Amino acid sequence: MDKLIIKGGGPLSGEIRISGSKNSALPILAATMLSETPIQIGNLPHLNDITTMLALLRSMGLAVTLNEKMSVEIDANTITEYTAPYELVKTMRASILVLGPMLARYGRANVSFPGGCAIGSRPVDIHLRGLEAMGAVIEVDEGYIRARSHGRLKGAHIFMDTVTVGATENLLMAAVLAEGETVLENAARELEVVDLAHCLCAMGAHIEGIGTDKLVIQGVKSLKGCEYHIMPDRIETGTFLTAAAATRGHVKLKDTHPGILESVLIKLEEAGAHISFGDNWISLDMKGNRPKAVSLKTAPYPAFPTDMQAQFTAMNAVSEGTGTVVETIFENRLIQIHELNRMGANIRLEGNTAIVTGVERLKAAPVMATDLRASASLVIAGLVADGDTLVDRIYHIDRGYECIEEKLQLLGVNIRRVPS
């Protein structure tokens, strides 16, 4: 397994480009199955998860043409298989997002049951209950979800007990081709759900309440292709801004937008960052000062995103003062603190709360990544540690951060990848 070696150093400084959003691209690529004619998706990030999703669509017979600018044309009319196999689903849970569109378009879908992962059990009960409410017959057999619908799915009034991004996306993609009206109550409002809804509307779907917790969908008989450009990745944006804050640096991020991560920007200003922005860029300047520790609590959008929690825990580890970090979305998403403490951090865990008392500098150590955002926190820790930090199992990072070492090198970091 590849490793990253990071030499702790000074402030990040420079300019980089932000890639398209992983968590917007994945549902939108799944949604291409709904289109009767070829569809073009642009600004896809070069990430292992995107490659996996494209491999999944190809394995089912869809025609996938990728050009050098990572734009893709997908024609779903050549589908031959209706199964998302275990070999692919086990590497990427988001494969479950093909369930809704496949069922809506073809009336059948077999998707390997996605297991849990390091951050939690990750159930899909709300996905399945919602599809059953729309008339699907679902069995779980030999580790596979086998879903069938006799004729078109039927519109339904669905209340989701938990705010869930994936279930909102799966049920939205099922509803756009269902017969009649579907109402999704307590829907997730994450911007990636909004991006998916905008793409579906560009394909001819009728969706009201986009960006709110109540989506009202009038099903249509068919959808057609369009050209759609994926939104910027708000978590990649937040990760690099937080790395700059932790290192007392000054960076400018291009091809992104301040409106996609307001709660994160407010917390960074609380930490002492000076933030300026334009239509498609954000700049953060710490003016050489040490960040102040901030307290936060993760919750569904528009609150502080759980995907930024690990990065802020790492920044707090070298900040002035004490900050408490409360994780309310996933049951096991504070696991990175054990590795951070091995690097000399002073973090106490109390249930779903981490009490982080900042130290001036961390100490380099060999550490191991356990999930995507925890690995980002270890990279940030390596930036502010004395010595060479070796981060193992960085395949987690490659799932969600495009060319992370190249982008950090552009910001002045001494970092290199050691192939296994």
Which residues of this chain interact with ligand EPZ, rule CB under 6 A? Answer: 23, 26, 94, 120, 122-127, 162, 164-167, 188, 190, 192, 306-307, 329-330, 372-373, 400
3-state SS, residue 322: strand
Strands 362-363, 385-386: pairing kind: parallel
For ligand EPZ, which is the closer residue by CB, 85 or 120? 120
End-to-end alpha carbon distance in the chain: 5
Q: What angle do CA 405, 325, 322 make, to 5 degrees?
A: 95
Q: Is 93 annotated as a binding residue?
A: yes
> Rounded to the nearest whole angstrom, what is the least distance from the CB of residue 26 to ligand EPZ in the complex?
5
Please report, as a single letter, which amino acid is at residue 75: D
Phi/psi of residue 32, nearest 5 degrees: -65, -20
Q: Is 22 annotated as a binding residue?
A: yes
Catalytic entry in 117, 201, 226, 403: 117
Q: Is the dihedral of CA 96, 100, 105, 107 positive or negative?
A: positive
Alpha carbon distance 127, 135 (integer Å): 13
> Rounded to the nearest whole angstrom, what is the least distance from the CB of residue 327 to ligand EPZ in the complex?
10
For ligand EPZ, which is the closer residue by CB, 99 or 340? 99
Q: Is 23 annotated as a binding residue?
A: yes
Taking Cα atoms as reference points, which of 119, 55, 40, 39 lies closest to residue 310? 119
For ligand EPZ, which is the closer residue by CB, 125 or 139? 125
> Rounded to the nearest whole angstrom, what is the least distance from the CB of residue 249 to ligand EPZ in the complex?
24
Hey, what are 4's tokens?
Answer: 């990253």
Taking Cα atoms as reference points, which of 74, 104, 300, 85 lies closest to residue 217? 104
Q: Is the dihedral of CA 69, 70, 76, 81 positive or negative?
A: positive
> Rounded to the nearest whole angstrom, what is the least distance from the CB of residue 120 to ligand EPZ in the complex?
6
Question: Is 199 part of the annotated catalytic residue set?
Answer: no
For ligand EPZ, which is the closer residue by CB, 156 or 286? 156
Q: Which residues are part of the catalytic machinery? A: 117
Annotated binding residues for phosphoenolpyruvate, as ranges? 22-23
- Residues flagged as binding site: 22-23, 93, 307, 329
Q: Which residues are annotated as a binding site for UDP-N-acetyl-alpha-D-glucosamine?
A: 93, 307, 329
